[in-house]
Amino acid sequence: MLYFIVIVFGLLIGSFLNVCIFRIPEGVSIVTPSSKCPSCGTPIKFYDNIPVISYLLLMGKCRQCRAKVSARYPFVEFLNAALYAVVLNRFGIDPPWVLFTYLVFTSVLIVIFFIDLDHQIIPNGITYPGIPIAVALGATILPDPFFRLVPMGHEAALIGLIGGGGFFYLVAVAGKVIFKKDAMGGGDIKMMAMVGGLLGWKGVILTTFAGSLLGSIVGVTLIRLKGREWGSKIAFGPFLALGALISMLWGEEILRWYLY
């Protein structure tokens, strides 16, 4: 029953995430107006806005103009619900504030993933409030994701904040000096400061490693299959988001595997 509630909640929040992904880069309010068809502009009725189900019943088309609706909308809803179930299975409900924090963080990473994928930006509207909130939570109520039986504490949260943002800032400066071009975006720097505050300095290391590995694999694949040039620009935020998710969910197991 608990999984059912969390999954339904995840689907509903996933529908809201679609609004955030579409509107935040445009500087439009995520509260009003209500959702509308991107093709004809007709407001979407509540019964046509049921996560995943409405998309399937309408066969992926607008009820009014019959224009095709992107499959990303139900995918984001399903993805958020599925990850909520994984987070619940990983951390349980005791204590509930830890579960709630990681659920919110998961949804934030999904929004960052798709916005950066589409626009190659990570909006300040996410990272500016996210950084102090992440540090406050990491310093007070969250466990160490790599040793879950002990609290992370203010020291690890602050080192994570400084290490995450500072390291990527140095990468950006070095890239500008050596290669005469932007090697790291400001959004990535602020995102990693937020990740460091929530997951600590060990989370910064694993997130950076996992994100770099995934980004390298995808980059080389695009070069080989699509003829992209070496050094061509690619959004790094989606890979950092995946790395942060891996660190949060399986950081403890990965660390044990690496050490022993």
- CA angle (100 as vertex; 8, 196 as ends), nearest 5: 130
Identify the pLDDT of residue 7. Answer: 96
Identify the pLDDT of residue 28. Answer: 86
User: Minimal CA–CA distance to 244: which of 150, 160, 156, 148?
Assistant: 160
Question: SS3 for 100?
Answer: helix
Beta carbons of 31 and 109 less than 8 angstroms apart: no
The runs of H, that is alpha helices, within the chain are 2-23, 53-57, 72-91, 96-119, 124-140, 153-179, 186-226, 237-259
- Residue 20 to residue 5: CA distance in whole angstroms: 23
Per-residue model confidence as pLDDT tens for the chain (260 residues): 899 999 999 999 999 999 999 999 988 888 888 888 877 878 888 888 899 999 999 888 888 888 898 999 999 999 999 999 999 999 999 889 999 999 999 999 999 999 999 999 999 999 999 999 999 999 999 998 888 778 899 999 999 999 999 999 998 888 777 766 766 778 999 999 999 999 999 999 999 999 999 988 888 887 777 666 666 677 889 999 999 999 999 998 998 888 77
Q: Is the peptide bond before 43 cis (omega within 30 degrees of 0)?
A: no
- Residue 102 to residue 198: CA distance in whole angstroms: 9
Identify the pLDDT of residue 227. Answer: 64
Beta carbons of 195 and 152 less than 8 angstroms apart: no
- Residue 120 to residue 137: CA distance in whole angstroms: 28
Cα-based torsion angle of the residue sequence 210, 81, 195, 183 in order, rounded to the nearest 10 degrees: 50
